[in-house]
Amino acid sequence: MRTLSLPLALTARISPVVVLAAAGWALTSGPATTPAAEKESAPQSAAESPSGTSTAAASKQYAAAPAPCGSIATATLKSLVPGAKTAGKEIPSTDTSLRRTCSWNALKGYDYRWLDVSFEITESDAAAAKSYKENTTEKSGGGSVPGVGDAGYSVVNLTTEDKQQTREGVVIIQASNALVTVTYNGSDFESKKAPSTDEINKGAIKAAKEAVAALESGQKA
């Protein structure tokens, strides 16, 4: 039997908690509190009217992130990540009501696949749209994903380390005040080639559509 040697980049990815922490998934404390003096002097806005129908509250459709490890169908997981435990592994979060992520990864023979599904709940549609724009601008070179959520974006990139190729697809979906992010990648350690762009892109989009469906069928605010 041949001894399998994983490239450093992929060896690091097998520790999802470390990778996620390095990616900066730290929960922010939220908007700064307005000083009392400013509250007294500032005129009352429409969003703060006694009627109780604030604009932000009205646009906050989702109150909490759904369980990410249950968001993808078993058949899809077996297809996208052959050999992985379908239960997945949820990544620790500082606030599970706002951010939740599940990971699946497996090496079957010489084929390696990795899938991440993340949910982020923001305070309003506007906040989600802003975050969506920032994230998609950083990941240039992709295209739109129509027919899912309010806005969708997909991008696929190829990297090579020690002559080993890895192809990674990222899909970002905005659905009201929620963001759904799917990361899917793969490598073949025998041929040192990566799966095709089409395979990775279609797999990431399929997972994203199922994740958004799970969000929409879950608890709403």
| pLDDT one-digit tens code per residue, 46-73 | 444 444 444 444 548 999 999 999 999 9
User: Ramachandran region of residue 200, left (φ > 0), alpha (ψ -120 to 50) or beta?
Assistant: alpha
The alpha carbon torsion through 201, 203, 207, 210 (nearest 10 deg) reads 100
Q: Are 177 and 141 in contact (CB under 8 A)?
A: no
List phi, psi (to 5°) of 78.
-65, -30
pTM of structure: 0.75
DSSP H helix total and E strand total for the chain:
7, 7
Strands of 178-188's sheet in order across: 89-91, 99-108, 111-121, 178-188, 164-175, 151-161, 143-144
List phi, psi (to 5°) of 40.
-70, -35
Each residue's pLDDT expressed in tens, for the chain with a length of 221 residues: 444 445 544 555 544 333 333 333 333 333 333 333 333 334 444 444 444 444 444 548 999 999 999 999 999 999 999 999 999 999 999 999 899 999 999 999 999 999 999 999 999 999 999 999 999 999 989 999 999 999 999 999 999 999 999 999 999 999 999 999 999 999 999 999 999 999 999 999 999 999 999 999 975 44
Which amino acid does the sequence have at 193? K
Q: Are 198 and 183 in contact (CB under 8 A)?
A: no
Q: Residue 140's closest CA among 155, 159, 122, 125?
A: 155
Residue entry with tokens 């009501």 = 97
Which pLDDT score, from 0 to 100, does residue 204 have? 98
